[in-house]
Chains A and B, each alone.
Chain A
């Protein structure tokens, strides 16, 4: 976990959102408890949203299935 932790810190320092998605997914997969996994999955999902990462939909669904997230709402029309 130390190597992963170092990689996460480096990705944060570099502002590399796409790397953060992958690294937090790894952290979630290695987590010992559902709550720890949920914490890391949340971070992976946030950076996936920010970077328009292709895993965003799958990550959201994993969080919804775990009772930790809700579906997206419908898009809004512009306010004119």
Chain B
């Protein structure tokens, strides 16, 4: 591809003198293609949630950055991710979410795959009524499985297969939130919603990471959650976000609240934390609920946010869950004009990526620095240009 790679040296400087990522990282299809590989495919990216596959045999196709993938809950209950293509002629296997009763049958020539990916039938491959052939070794022709890992109910995938193991890559974050390593119960249909954003996916991350904008964009917080009640979460080259010291539980008219997660330490009585699992998963934890936001990029200037809310027990008040969903919808909707406004701003050719507040933008700068590091690693590889 014939284009000039962006100069990322200024992004990687200390925050006091650093610039943000250049405009091209938000609007240029060639750089989007580079980031697709370097940032999203080479790392552990969020694809969906296990709650979308509640029963054995459930199958959900997902188009991830143009790549057809298939999430399946196999016969033993494990969630797996495959390329959604037959090993014969590359036909798409599953077009819509559905239940696989037995095997996945390709609708073209009926090659069949078990839910664990094994190729179990190749009808007429050796001629009519002859279903084997010396040239067709089924053990080598199972569905192409993508590395996957479930954490906080999010289905993470490493498309390239080259990242360190998930538990290793995210060891510090898993340890930080080890108290939430317990069953999470999806709140059901009204605890999932999506936002279609006219912006690059990274802008949603950048906005999520910092608390600097809260008093201006979410003025409703000012009455009880002041800017100084928040703290930065900064793990260089790993994750970043922000926390609050004054989380207040939602209550109904009778003072009822959601049940707490079991065994939490005192810190969580009033603390809540909001962290980006690089690259594209935004997580929030509170004493009584968590949420996961998965950002699915759809080209350089469009992103779909998939939002899911979870609770500590299987049965909670539907009315309270609805209120919680509405509360978060309002907060996330308040952010839309910001991320879409920044996207428009990235078309101003003399914008230099912007300068950061050294005091307030640390978590966002860490994300930029990490993206830049991924790009530099990728560009250093032989024939790395997309």
Contact = CB atoms under 8 A, between A and B. Distances in A.
B80 A78 contact: yes
B131 A68 contact: yes
A75 to B, nearest CB: 5
A78 B132 contact: no
Contacts of B105: 46, 49-50
B124 interface: yes
Contact of B123 (A43, A53, A72): A43
Q: Which secondary structure dominates where chain A touches chain B? A: helix
Interface centre among A41, A49, A52, A53 (most CB of B within 10 A): A49
Interface residues of A, number: 29
Contact residues on B (Cβ < 8 Å of other chain), bracket: 20 to 34
A2 to B, nearest CB: 22
A43 B109 CA distance: 11
Interface string A35-71: 1111101110110111111001000000100001110
B102 interface: yes
Contacts of B80: 78-79
Interface stretch (B145-153, B184-192, B216-224, B245-253): B145-153
Nearest to B119: A73
A36 B376 CA distance: 61
Nearest to B115: A75
B146 A35 contact: no
B128 A35 contact: yes
A60 to B, nearest CB: 9
Interface in B128-163: 128-132, 138-139, 142, 145-149
A76 interface: yes
A46 to B, nearest CB: 5
B20 to A, nearest CB: 35
A46 B129 CA distance: 12
Given A35-B128, A79-B147, A80-B148, A56 B78 contact: no
A63 B112 CA distance: 16
Contacts of B79: 78
B255 to A, nearest CB: 44
B268 interface: no
Most chain A Cβ neighbours within 10 Å, of B114, B120, B139, B146 = B120
A69 B131 contact: yes
B138 A73 contact: yes
B138 A48 contact: no
B146 A79 contact: yes
Contacts of A48: 102
B110 to A, nearest CB: 5
A53 B74 CA distance: 17
A80 B119 CA distance: 20
A75 B116 contact: yes
A80 B103 contact: no
B106 to A, nearest CB: 10
A73 B123 contact: no
Contacts of B225: none
Given A39-B124, A68-B129, 10 more contacts: A39-B129, A43-B123, A46-B110, A49-B105, A50-B103, A51-B102, A70-B131, A70-B132, A75-B114, A76-B118
19 contacts: A35-B128, A38-B128, A41-B129, A42-B123, A42-B129, A45-B123, A49-B105, A49-B121, A50-B103, A50-B105, A51-B102, A68-B129, A69-B132, A73-B118, A73-B139, A75-B76, A76-B117, A78-B74, A78-B148
